[in-house]
Structure 1
């Protein structure tokens, strides 16, 4: 390569570098603010969950207020909280934070203007209506109704028109401003479709995991009952029959006694087997339906149980089995722990939902976190996408409510 060609190539490269300054200089001046922003974000990231709490509290207050205006609840979009930096990163990635900020800015400006307009209309109406009585005493050009008043015809017509206009704004516009403000809050503060779907997937994942765990525990219980109970009993029956066979010719009386013991053992094994089967799907549900099965449960209690049962139609088998389990476990808890004198069971079909309510007048204080029975009820109901509510104040009895979907 010649010297001339090398110089030409260097000059071209220099020109390109100089021409790039139109991008380099703005980028250079923008580095400091960008680095400062990133540094503050990185440094303040651990405190971000605490920093957004006032904003969330403000947004939640607006959700409640707007919900009262609209007549429908505006759910929170925040989801479940994690711990530490993971929660901070989740907040930054979540659209809820940025939507809350957008609402705060929009609501701050529009809300102030709406409030000033609404408050100002109230004194403006009597002011305009009384203007014909005193306008003449004011300095010329100091009184206005759309335009400055200089003549009696203006004073007798324009203030009345202004009064009518202000009254129309007060009566027509101000109520709608409240609705518009509430709808603005609903649009910006409600969960996005993606957030709702994500929360729904998380909820279903958790309930399905609990259902699998409950199913696994049920299988282990059945296996344990069959192995330790029914199987052991049948082995004992086989041994007795073997001994009876050996003694049949030499000692018939002893053989007969062994046969009778074996027969008792077979009956006991059948009883245990029925108990195991009843835990899988109570046969009484097939024979009598849910209402009949609940009556049978109530009849076996040592305290009076008042019943309000819906006889209309059958729910799916899985729903009836879960409802039976809820009532059976609740009545068992009442008998063991509540000290109640009376109880009541309500099973009602409302549309595509099956509602179950079990109440007692016992000592209360039931806590799903302290016992496996109530926790098992929650898992069984949640596995079918249902909900459970327990109200048990100390000394005030216990009310357990379960809501199960039973649509076809």
Structure 2
């Protein structure tokens, strides 16, 4: 079954790649217009109008190349990060603000790499991604020539060439020429479908070369990401500390204070009213049990014992056992991640499972945990109604921030009607499995 699915996927790749490349070739037409507008603005840069228009022209280029980045990532699997250096903070408005933005955009190497892409891509795409599509169309034209178009050209007194086959007045009566046309057309179509995925892959590498970040912009983006993730980690830690303080104050602490007051009352009642003292003792014992339960819940929320003792796989299995939806868990881990990564992954999965129970409307869950190529990958799939989003107030944005502290990423695929697939990836190494003392 798996082999057949792989063949079907490969077949789909060969049939879809030429038309995707052809669409990329058509996209070069508006891209040329965006590049021409940028060149026009650049030619006016010695004047104030050119300086003021430069940021808007670079914005148009960025939006155009962002379309390329999305399509290349979707159709070739080559992810291209946005390479742009951060714009200056809008300290002042008006001309001075536009001047600072102009200087920043002018000095950003990605601006000129974008223009180089828009200028060169119309030629490059025709010899890479769009070439298979043109071969297929040329093959279809060959079939049309052999069928009826060659006769129309001959009747009109025209002359044409299909590869090395002459299409002229003699063409309709020349059986060998028509057979050669059909054979050539078949070869062109077959070559188009066979070359489609390879040419698209070549185009993806070309896109990553020019549209991806340079080392300077990569470092600047890395610094900005670390700054943001550090700020979010500090905020999350402060929020978690406030939650612990609130839970202690409203829960266990209040019960312990009440228990102290009850014990004081019992001390005064032991000689005068033993029966009432016995009732207060029973209530105090019940309060102590509740306080202990709340403290255990609080500790479990900080770092679950099962996670510390048994590791991520068994901790996720424990979550699945307590989940209202029927869950299947697959774990393939040769060791354990570092404790901070393990904790972040556990609570991220816990939040995702809680979202599935509240919002999905499904009945089944599939959880897959594995470590591949230096990445901890966790996918959670439900058979619910779908339609989830990172901006829907479902807590997924918080999950993204939590794992972003460790350079993790979250991917969401949730079409209307389902299923919903949430995938987490965290870079980490695995240590040897920890063993509990017997």
TM-score category, normalised to shorter length: 0.5 to 0.7
CA distance in 1, matches of 2:213, 2:415: 33
CA pair 324-66 structure 1, distance change in 2 beyond 3 A = closer
Measured after TM superposition, the shift of residue 391 of structure 1 is: 1.7
Secondary structure of the residue that 2:390 maps to in structure 1?
Answer: coil
CA distance in 1, matches of 2:360, 2:204: 46
Secondary structure of the residue that 2:311 maps to in structure 1?
Answer: helix
CA distance in 1, matches of 2:205, 2:327: 48
CA pair 187-320 structure 1, distance change in 2 beyond 3 A = closer
Q: Confirm or deny: 8 A CA contact 2:326 2:365 kept in the other structure.
A: yes
Q: Confirm or deny: 8 A CA contact 1:66 1:183 kept in the other structure.
A: no
Partner of 2:57: 51
Measured after TM superposition, the shift of residue 79 of structure 1 is: 5.0
Partner of 2:335: 313
Measured after TM superposition, the shift of residue 336 of structure 1 is: 1.6
CA pair 242-78 structure 1, distance change in 2 beyond 3 A = same
Partner of 2:215: 193
Measured after TM superposition, the shift of residue 279 of structure 1 is: 1.4
1:41-190 alignment, distance < 5 Å: 42-56=48-62, 75-78=81-84, 85=98, 87-101=101-115, 189-190=211-212
Cα deviation digits, residues 244-292 of structure 1 (max 9, x gap): 1110111111111111111111111111111111111111112222111
Cα deviation digits, residues 319-348 of structure 1 (max 9, x gap): 111121122111111112211111111111
Partner of 1:297: 319
Name the count of aligned residue pairs. Answer: 317
1:239-254 alignment, distance < 5 Å: 239-254=261-276
CA pair 258-66 structure 1, distance change in 2 beyond 3 A = closer
CA distance in 1, matches of 2:204, 2:391: 39
CA pair 220-64 structure 1, distance change in 2 beyond 3 A = closer
Measured after TM superposition, the shift of residue 372 of structure 1 is: 5.5
Match of 2:310 among 283, 288, 294: 288
Q: Confirm or deny: 8 A CA contact 2:85 2:220 kept in the other structure.
A: no
1:297-376 alignment, distance < 5 Å: 297-371=319-393, 373-376=395-398
CA distance in 2, matches of 1:101, 1:384: 34
Measured after TM superposition, the shift of residue 231 of structure 1 is: 0.7
Q: Confirm or deny: 8 A CA contact 2:78 2:205 kept in the other structure.
A: no
Cα deviation digits, residues 354-407 of structure 1 (max 9, x gap): 111111111222223232521221111111110011222222132111111222
Q: Confirm or deny: 8 A CA contact 2:328 2:366 kept in the other structure.
A: yes
TM-score relative to the length of structure 2: 0.62
Higher relative contact order (CA 8 A, sep 6+): 2
CA pair 354-106 structure 1, distance change in 2 beyond 3 A = closer
CA distance in 2, matches of 1:91, 1:389: 30
Measured after TM superposition, the shift of residue 78 of structure 1 is: 2.4
Q: Which deviates further from its counterpart, 233-242 or 360-369?
A: 360-369
CA distance in 1, matches of 2:348, 2:334: 20
Partner of 1:137: none
Q: Compare CA radii of gyration and give the structure with the larger one.
A: 1
Match of 1:213 among 219, 235, 258: 235
CA pair 58-234 structure 1, distance change in 2 beyond 3 A = closer
Q: Confirm or deny: 8 A CA contact 2:247 2:298 kept in the other structure.
A: yes
CA distance in 1, matches of 2:279, 2:216: 73
CA pair 239-348 structure 1, distance change in 2 beyond 3 A = same
CA distance in 1, matches of 2:364, 2:206: 51
CA distance in 2, matches of 1:189, 1:61: 11
CA distance in 2, matches of 1:181, 1:389: 24
Q: Confirm or deny: 8 A CA contact 1:284 1:293 kept in the other structure.
A: yes
Unaligned runs of 5+ in 2: 1-42, 91-96, 132-160, 166-199, 431-438
CA distance in 2, matches of 1:184, 1:261: 74
1:209-288 alignment, distance < 5 Å: 209-288=231-310
Secondary structure of the residue that 1:249 maps to in structure 2?
Answer: helix
